[in-house]
Structures are given as C-alpha cells and as structure tokens.
C-alpha cells in the first residue's frame, strides 16, 4: 500500500482501496464517517462537538452504537468477575494472577442480562445495538446474554477498541467450550488478532511475533513474560492476519498445539505469512502439550529455550513427516521438495526461496542443486504484475511509479509522466521551465489532464498543493496521481536541466508526428525548421 503524506492520501494497488486519512480510519476501524472523524481528531488533540452529524446516519449509527454496546458490556463483565467465586477459583486453577486478569480485562458474564439492560437504558443505547453487536440475543420475546455464565475474554483491535468477546464455559456446565462474537458491524473473524493492542505496544515493534490459537495460550504467555504474542481467536490464520503482522514483524513463531491438528494449523498458516516476506519459525512442543499447558508446567527459561531452538521451515517439514531421513525413500524426498517449492513460491524473494530449498536438500542428504522454487505466478495462475516502471529517459535513473502500482505507460509517454513528476515534486524549480508547455504536446491524456490541473492550481494559489490537486481532479485520474513516486532532495540544477530535457523531447516528438502527417512540401519544410531550432536549443 502506498501512503503519500504530502497528498494526505493512501492507495492500495492490490485491492483498489484508497482515500484520505478519514477514509482510511473508516475502513480500518470499520466505523462511520463521524466516528472516524472523532478518532482522527482525538489523535490530533482537536475537540469535536458531541452532536456532530452528517445527513443520513444509517450504517454509521449502527457501528457507533455497536461500539458503545461493546464498551458497556465490557464494563459489566469486568465488574462482575470479582463477584463470581467460581470464576476466580477457575482462574487461580489455571495459574493466572489478578494482574494478568486486569491486563487483559478478563470478565465474567452474569447469567441474566439485567445489569447490561439497566446500563443501556441509562446511556440511552437501544437493546437492538447489543443484538447487532452479538452480545444479546432474542428468543420468543425474551432477551438473553449470549455469553451468560461464561468467563469473558475481550477482543481488541490495534487501536484498543473492544470489538468482540470470547466466552469460555465454566467447569461442570454443558455447552460449547467457547462462544465467540458472531460477525457484526465491528467484528470480522478474518481481521482481529487478539491481543494486537498489547502486542504492538509492547513487543511487535521489536520485529518478532508469536502466534497462538487460543485465549488461554495468549494469556499464559504474557504472564510468563512473552509480551509479543497474538491469538487468532479460534480461527485459521488468514491473509488479513498475515498482512497486519507483516506491518510490525519480520519473524513470526507459529506456536500451536504439539499434536497433528497443531501441525496442520502450521502448514495452513505458512502460505499467507510467506506472501508477506515474513520469516516463519516453529517451536516444537511435545505431542500432548499445548502452549498454555507447557508454559504452566515449565520455567521461563525452558519456554525461552523453546523459541531459541525453534525449527526453521526445512527442519519443520522433515519433522512433520514423522520419519527419520534415513527411512525416507527417494520418491518421498522428491515429493517433499516439490511440496516445499509450491509453498515457498508464495515468498516474494527468489533468494530466500532458493536458500530454503537448498537447506532442505542438505537435510535430506541430497546434492545442493536442481529443484527450483515454482515461480510466483504458478501459485496464482496469473502472470506476475509489473511492480514499477523505470524512466526510459537516458541519465534519469529515477523510479516513476511506486512499487505495485501497475500503471501502464507507452514508451513515448514516459517523458510526459516524468515532466509531471518533476513539476509536482519540485514546483518551485520545475514550474518556470514548464510555463511554455502546450497541452497538444502530450500523447497520453492522463498526464495531460493532471498537468493542466496542476498548472491551473499553481496560477490560482501560487503553489501546487498535492492534497488540493487530488480533491479537484476526476476520480479516473486519482490512481495515476497516487502512483507517482515523488523524489526528494535532488539538486535544483539537475531538476531544471531534466525538466527542460523532457519539455524539448515532448515538443520535438510533437513536431515529428506533425511532419509525418504533413500534406505539402512547404508544410514539411516549416516543421523541419522548428525541429532544427529545437536541436540547437539542446
């Protein structure tokens, strides 16, 4: 994703999403415009009137009310925990302290929803908001708490907002072991990583993360001093999870159960992680252990040692076969290499893919050569997209578009985009050079229109504000503007010289095209004089 602070916009060329800071918060936090505006304003220390609204509220109101409902429910659950002796005893039996319960805001849901309903009435929040948020349910005219009688683990997003809950059944009760918030205006199972809020503020910025499956795994690790862990909230690791982790961590430990199901979960998690260029490691647990049980039964040193000696991918693949290398047949080794190549194809680095394969070959006792990783297009079934376009103008060496933008440009139009790039990056230097540029010199309508808008804005305001330019141009031009790589720090003389070269090349190309279309000898001769004059200016 490309973020342009100078323009105040973002653009994801993979999915097409884009907009300004408010739009980003709307999409990322899954809130309406007014709520997003409040979040951005709070970051900037700006007060927003409580009664602020814009037109038809609709879904924005639903999301805001669901957020308030979640917060009320969390308060009720946290306040109820100390009153439930059974819940307190259960937490103690799992070795959890009061400090840990406070850190994760663990709570307990009362059997009936009366307290939540009372709080809702006092805050003027409709019952429908709690139903929409997945907290309360309705059946035959009766309202009930979906988590009633359960130990509550709140689920937070990265900004610290509670977006859902996981409820664990108490010992001796019947029912599903865990009940999670259903899909709601705030909660999608593919998006949150509990507890990303804690992990990012305390550990992920160090470049490493630990992924676990369950709430108790996460809490036990935190209590043992491992504060860079996140949980997938009872679902498989998704592409969205991996993308979020890739923003903060370059090495990820897949710390799942030691049984077959845990190893299967590791295999399913590899492709989305490798696609982010993340290094994956697998701590090896005994078959009968899960992260929570291992942490509770072993010292902090033993837990740390588990991560220090974690398997890399080749070691995991060999161990996962459940057989010694000596007992593997040539066909089994060949199958392992091909399966590994298919998984590694998701990693964007050819060097990393090849290194892992050669390491696997050495572990299998094979010569370090031959089987190459499948090209990335093998996985998607598509030809790899062009990541960027470089200028074809001799001596430039500057990138034209940001990586991943996939903007197609004809060779003859490259100089037009480059001139636009110079004007937007260095308006004070390139501006005087482009004053005599005529729009008919452009062969590509996209840079022509952008150039026209930029010059008009400069004449009106005396400067080219990228944010204002983005606002005034048609929607069809915004991808091209967002994709431009805007360099910084070039010497003014170089900028002026290159800008002039682009202008002269565009004018010469224009006259050469006119010459090819000329009908009379006189017209050709006049055009040739113009071209010769341009050559002298060089």
Do residue 228 and residue 283 come from a single domain? yes
Structural domain of residue 204, as residue ranges?
Answer: 196-311
**Phi, psi angle pair for 355, to nearest 5°:** -65, -45
**Strands 136-139 and 142-145, how do they pair?**
antiparallel
Do residue 81 and residue 137 come from a single domain? yes
Q: What is the DSSP string of 462-519?
A: SS--HHHHHHHS-HHHHHHHHHB-------HHHHHHHHHHHHHHHHHHHHHHHHHH--
Do residue 16 and residue 77 come from a single domain? no
Confidence (pTM): 0.62
In a domain, 301, yes or no: yes
Tell me which of 392 and 436 has the higher pLDDT: 436
DSSP 8-state symbol, 140: T
Do residue 358 and residue 292 come from a single domain? no
Do residue 243 and residue 171 come from a single domain? no
Buried b (16+ CB within 10 A) or exposed e, 256-286: bbbeeebbebbeebbbbbbbbebbbbbbebe
Do residue 173 and residue 243 come from a single domain? no
Residue 455 pLDDT level (bands cut at 50, 70, 90): confident
- Quick one: residue 276, left, alpha or beta (phi over 0 = left, psi -120 to 50 = alpha)? alpha
Do residue 323 and residue 282 come from a single domain? no
Quick: pLDDT tens for 131-169. Answer: 999 999 988 888 999 999 999 999 887 667 888 899 999
Taking Cα atoms as reference points, which of 38, 34, 37, 40 lies closest to residue 55? 34
Angle, alpha carbons 310-311-313 (nearest 5°): 140
In a domain, 362, yes or no: yes
What integer best gives the mean pLDDT of the chain? 81
Question: Where among 277, 311, 345 does a domain terminate?
Answer: 311
Predicted confidence (pLDDT) at residue 409 exceeds the cutoff of 90: no
Q: For residue 74, what are the contacts with CB-CB under 8 A and spacing of at least 6?
A: 105, 107, 154, 162, 165
pLDDT of residue 145: 92
> Domain containing 459 — which CATH number?
1.10.860
In a domain, 185, yes or no: no
Question: Where among 286, 311, 336 does a domain terminate?
Answer: 311
In a domain, 53, yes or no: no
Predicted confidence (pLDDT) at residue 209 exceeds the cutoff of 80: yes
Positive/negative CA dihedral, 108, 113, 117, 118: negative
Predicted confidence (pLDDT) at residue 53 exceeds the cutoff of 60: no
Mean pLDDT of 469-481: 84
Do residue 75 and residue 157 come from a single domain? yes
In a domain, 54, yes or no: no
Do residue 344 and residue 300 come from a single domain? no
Structural domain tally of the chain?
A: 5
Residue 394 pLDDT level (bands cut at 50, 70, 90): very low
Do residue 78 and residue 171 come from a single domain? yes
From CA 255, how far away is CA 380, in angstroms rounded? 28
In a domain, 186, yes or no: no
From CA 143, how far away is CA 122, in angstroms rounded? 18
The beta strands (E) that lie in 394-441 are given as none
In a domain, 256, yes or no: yes
Mean pLDDT of 465-494: 82
Cβ atoms of residues 512 and 528 within 8 Å: no
Predicted confidence (pLDDT) at residue 203 exceeds the cutoff of 80: no
In a domain, 368, yes or no: yes
pLDDT of residue 380: 36
Q: Which two tokens stand for residue 235?
A: 């679902």
Mean pLDDT of 454-470: 79
């Amino acid at each position: 994703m490309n973020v342009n602070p100078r323009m105040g916009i973002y653009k994801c060329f993979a999915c097409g999403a884009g907009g300004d800071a408010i739009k980003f918060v709307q999409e990322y936090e899954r809130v309406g415009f007014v709520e997003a505006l409040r979040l951005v304003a709070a970051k900037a220390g700006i007060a927003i009137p409580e009664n602020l609204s814009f037109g038809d509220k609709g879904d924005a109101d639903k999301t805001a009310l669901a957020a308030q409902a979640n917060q009320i429910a969390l308060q009720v659950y946290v306040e109820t925990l100390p009153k439930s002796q059974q819940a307190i005893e259960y937490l103690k039996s799992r070795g959890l302290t009061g400090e840990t319960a406070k850190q994760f805001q663990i709570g307990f849901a009362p059997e009936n929803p009366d307290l939540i309903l009372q709080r809702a009435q006092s805050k003027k929040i409709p019952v429908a908001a709690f139903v929409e948020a997945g907290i309360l349910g309705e059946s035959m005219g009766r309202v009930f708490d979906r988590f009633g009688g359960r130990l509550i683990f709140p689920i937070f997003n990265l900004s610290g907002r509670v977006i859902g809950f996981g409820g664990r059944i108490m010992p001796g009760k019947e029912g599903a072991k865990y009940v999670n918030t259903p899909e709601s205006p705030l909660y999608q199972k593919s998006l949150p990583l509990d507890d990303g809020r804690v992990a990012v503020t305390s550990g992920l910025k160090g470049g490493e993360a630990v992924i676990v499956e369950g709430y108790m795994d996460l809490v036990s690790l935190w209590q043992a001093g491992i504060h860079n862990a996140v949980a997938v909230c009872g679902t498989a690791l998704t592409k969205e999870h991996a993308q979020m982790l890739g923003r903060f961590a370059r090495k990820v430990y897949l710390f799942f159960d030691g049984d077959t199901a845990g190893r299967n979960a590791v295999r399913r998690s590899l492709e989305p992680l490798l696609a982010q260029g993340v290094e994956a490691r697998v701590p090896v647990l005994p078959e009968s252990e899960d992260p929570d049980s291992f942490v509770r039964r072993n010292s902090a040193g033993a837990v740390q040692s588990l991560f220090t000696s974690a398997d890399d991918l080749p070691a995991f693949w060999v161990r996962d076969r459940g057989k010694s290398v000596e007992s593997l047949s040539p066909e089994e080794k060949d199958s392992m290499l091909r399966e590994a190549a298919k998984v590694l194809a998701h990693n964007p680095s050819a060097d990393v893919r090849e290194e892992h394969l050669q390491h696997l070959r050495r572990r299998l006792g094979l010569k370090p050569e031959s089987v190459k990783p499948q090209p990335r297009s093998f996985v998607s079934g598509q030809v790899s997209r062009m990541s960027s376009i470089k200028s074809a103008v001799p001596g430039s060496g500057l990138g034209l578009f940001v990586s991943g933008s996939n903007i197609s440009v004809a060779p003859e139009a490259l100089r037009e985009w480059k001139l636009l790039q110079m004007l937007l990056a260095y308006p004070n230097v390139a501006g005087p050079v482009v004053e005599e540029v005529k729009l008919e010199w452009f062969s590509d309508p996209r840079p022509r229109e952008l150039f026209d808008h930029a010059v008009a804005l400069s004449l009106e305001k005396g400067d080219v504000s990228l944010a204002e330019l983005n606002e005034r141009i048609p929607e069809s031009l915004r991808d091209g503007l967002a994709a431009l790589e805007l360099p910084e720090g070039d010497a003014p003389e170089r900028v002026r010289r290159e800008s002039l070269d682009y202008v002269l090349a565009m004018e010469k190309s224009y006259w050469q095209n006119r010459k090819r279309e000329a009908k009379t000898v006189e017209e050709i001769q006049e055009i040739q004089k113009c071209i010769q004059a341009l050559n002298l200016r060089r």
